[in-house]
Amino acid sequence: MRAMRGLREVAIAGVATTEQTRRSEGRYGLSYALEALRMALDDAGLAKEDIGGLYPMIDQWPQTGAASPGNYRQANWPAQLGIPIRWFTGAVNSGAGTGVSAILDATAAIGAGYIDTAVIVLGMAASTPVDGRTASWTTQELQFNEWTGSYTAAQFALAARRHMHQYGTTREQIARVSATIRNYGHLNPDAVMHGRGPYSVEDILSAPLIADPLTRLMCAQVNDGGAAMVLTTLERARDLRRPPVRVLGGADQLCYPAYAEPPLLEHPLGGPLPTSWVDDGFAMAGVAHDDFDVVSLYDGFASWIIMQWELFGFCKPGEGGPLVESGAMELDGRWPACTDGGCHSFSHMGAPAILRPIEAVRQLRGDVRDGCPEGVHSHEPGRCRAVRSPRLAFAASMGPPTGGGNFAVLGLD
């Protein structure tokens, strides 16, 4: 990375995920968050006293329950940790500020010298639906369901149908996305859906229909869990426990409030949704699409992956379906993608934005668990999920399903 105007270079020094489970059995979001924070700091070889910036997202405090005010849930962290927090911010475009938006914000704060170390921490324990019918975050008062009389999957299905109509995208291509991602999760012992495959395109298509064209296996799952990431200066990271993963650049764009408005096909004020922000992020990092060895996209719904390939410029509009059909997402394909099983199979606890960059970091560091002996990978599709000798990763996280989003470019030092 080229230092810009004297800014310090920044690296990811530690990552962690707790158990991802559908049975929290009395645990709270705070419990998962503290566990993940402790694990990530240990991974980096740092202590809580090293934290200068904090980007938290939890859904429950034990003493107040799920309905506690948002300000209390997030702002009580200095008291919980027993340390002052010098940088406490975040962007709501990325999992309430705990995904790529937080990575970019923390990188700017560390690079400018406001803080030396930042931690992104996530804990969700109220995600699993009590009645089994719908996730807690998709209730009508929280999303665009109420005034439209619709629900999340239906809104994504409408966008998928539009894409199919406009470009000829097929249900088989969408199903190929899900089969590929779920088969990675089948191999991942840390995934909620570990050992549940392998899946074929026919398996995905024959699953119960949720909202045409989306079947149940084309949708993210619902579970609980926690995750955390530690960022610091590259200079300091080089002296810590793990190989530093540099934050080389990225970009973030919000054209309308995600999940508050239905997916839009053009700018709210008219005209096409802008895409120059993607070019700006690539230019900042000094990379091209062909440079990437592994890609980590946000797979809330399978159709969204096809749109993201196009949105981020890996192919032209309308070419996302054929790209997937070519096997590009497979381990031996051009851009192995969602290699931990993604939201489909690894975990979706309501705000899993940080999980996509964490998987990118693990691939770059060689910390990939599957059926192969530890540290020894065959790189054989269907038996292994470790990308061979990756050096550069593209990681996206939550954003609007059309017209915006965010990504970070990550590379080994």
Q: What is the pLDDT of residue 131?
A: 58
Query: What string of DSSP letters covers 108-146?
Result: HHHHHTS-SEEEEEEEE-S-S-SSSSS-GGGSTTTSTHH
pLDDT band at 60 (very low <50, low <70, confident <90, very high): low
User: Which regions of 234-382 does DSSP assign to beta strands (E)?
Assistant: 245-253, 294-296
Q: What is the pLDDT of residue 59?
A: 81
Q: What is the pLDDT of residue 13?
A: 98
Query: What string of DSSP letters covers 183-203?
Result: HHHHH-TTSTTTTS----HHH
pLDDT digits (tens, 9 = 90+) for 90-128: 544 445 467 898 999 999 999 999 999 999 999 988 765
Q: Give the CATH class of 10-129+221-412.
A: alpha beta
Mean pLDDT within 188-197? 95
Mean pLDDT within 312-323? 96
- Highest-pLDDT range among 59-73, 130-144, 267-281: 267-281
Global pTM value: 0.92
Mean pLDDT within 210-214? 95
User: Which regions of 159-272 does DSSP assign to beta strands (E)?
Assistant: 209-211, 214-215, 225-233, 245-253
Identify which has the larger pLDDT, 373 or 248: 248
Mean pLDDT within 250-278? 82
Mean pLDDT within 17-38? 91
Cis peptide before 198 (omega within 30 of 0): yes
Q: What is the DSSP letter of 54?
A: E
Q: Contact, 87 vs 109, CB < 8 A?
A: yes
Q: What is the pLDDT of residue 220?
A: 93
Q: What is the pLDDT of residue 241?
A: 95
pLDDT digits (tens, 9 = 90+) for 47-57: 999 999 999 88
Residue 47's contacts (CB-CB under 8 Å, 6 or more residues apart) are: 41
pLDDT band at 397 (very low <50, low <70, confident <90, very high): confident
**Residue 136 clears pLDDT 80, i.e. is over it:** no
Q: Which one, of 158, 226, 177, lies nearest residue 327 by Cα?
A: 177
For helices 152-167 and 302-311, angle between their N-to-C axes, nearest 10 degrees: 50
pLDDT digits (tens, 9 = 90+) for 232-254: 999 999 999 999 999 999 999 88
**Residue 334 clears pLDDT 90, i.e. is over it:** yes
Place of tokens 């949105």: 311
Tell me the domain boundaries of the chain. 10-129+221-412
Q: Contact, 87 vs 118, CB < 8 A?
A: yes
As to burial, measured by CB atoms within 10 angstroms (0-12 exposed, 13-18 middle, 19+ buried), residue 369 is middle
pLDDT band at 77 (very low <50, low <70, confident <90, very high): confident
How far apart are the two ends of the chain, measured CA to CA in Å? 10
Report how far Cα 44 is from the mean position of its chain's Cα atoms: 21
